[in-house]
Amino acid sequence: MSAGYLRALVITDPIIIVWTMVMWLASMVASFIDGTGRAQHRIAGIWSRGLLRIAGVKVKFEGIEKLDPAQSYVLVANHRSFMDTPVALGHIPLEFRFFAKHGLFHVPFIGWYLRRAGHLPVYRGDPRASVKTLVDGARLIRERSISVLLFPEGGRTDGPMRSFKEGAAYLAIKAGVPVVPVGIIGTREILPMGSSYVRRGPVSLCVGDPIPTAGMKLHDRAELNRRLEIEVARLAGLAPAETPVRA
């Protein structure tokens, strides 16, 4: 039994569980007071930064100054660990919602939070439902002037970066807002797939230049998608996928 695992079992994990329960309760209460989800997003940021601090994870970020708080964006990031979400929630200075697997919306506590906070479901294997969710996301961006975050690989990967599905490019063009590539480095090292505890270590969040979509049509999404793959891979220090995936 390693010292890191023992420390997590006895100290870190219990504190994280209690911290998460307190923040979840605060978020649920806030959802009945503020139906916009803004208060829940602020609470999620506090939870994320606290969780990372408790776990001994130090986040270095660069390119944050490229984001205009008054502008809405579609944020696109690589996905190698469950820790990607708190890293993004805690350090991207925008109000945003994210797309999560539809199944998570039916998990007690997690699903309740996702629904109350206004996050959006991803329906894998159901093209019609997927398109509807993207249209709903575009409407959310336009009507509420907030941003959205997607992991276009379609799930965590334990190997090289997978081809991006085209949903993020579709959404950005449909909403008429810039799309921003984001590279996340180090989260797989602190929480590998299948691991039961978070390790201490550094993580980097790298924000690329926003890519305007003004004037683009939906048939341009494949080209935009490939550009996003290349930019995210560069920011994350990974090799881009060989073949784009349409979805």
Residue 91: its H or E element:
helix 84-91
The class of domain 57-236 in CATH terms is alpha beta
Give φ, ψ of 200 to 5 degrees: -70, 150
Tokens standing for residue 171: 């959404």
Listed by start position, the domains of the chain span 57-236
Q: How high is the pLDDT of residue 77? A: 97
Q: What is the Cα–Cα distance from 136 to 189, expressed in whole angstroms?
A: 35
Tokens standing for residue 184: 């996340």
The 10 Å Cβ neighbour count of residue 30 is: 19
Q: What is the Cα–Cα distance from 94 to 146, expressed in whole angstroms?
A: 8
Q: What angle, 0 to 180 degrees and rounded to 10, lies between the N-to-C axes of helices 221-236 and 167-175?
A: 110
Residue in this structure with the two tokens 């997690």, named with its chain if needed? 110
Q: What is the Cα–Cα distance from 47 to 24, expressed in whole angstroms?
A: 9
The strand order across the sheet containing 57-62 reads 57-62, 201-207, 179-185, 74-77, 147-150, 96-101, 120-122
The end-to-end CA distance of the chain, in Å, is 44
Per-residue pLDDT of the chain in tens (247 residues, 90 and over written 9): 677 777 777 789 899 999 999 999 999 999 999 988 999 999 999 999 999 999 999 999 999 999 999 999 999 999 999 999 999 999 999 999 998 888 889 898 899 999 999 898 888 777 788 888 888 899 989 888 999 999 999 888 877 789 999 999 999 999 999 999 999 999 999 998 888 788 999 999 999 999 999 999 999 999 999 999 999 999 999 877 665 444 4
Please list, in sequence order, all residues whose beta carbon lies within 8 angstroms of the beta carbon of residue 237, skipping any fewer than 6 positions away. Answer: 183, 185
Cβ(83)–Cβ(203) under 8 Å?
A: yes
Residue 76 falls in which region: left (phi positive, over 0), alpha (psi -120 to 50) or beta: beta
Tokens standing for residue 195: 């691991």
Nearest alpha carbon to residue 109 among 27, 194, 195 = 27
Q: How high is the pLDDT of residue 247? A: 46
Residue 9: its H or E element:
none
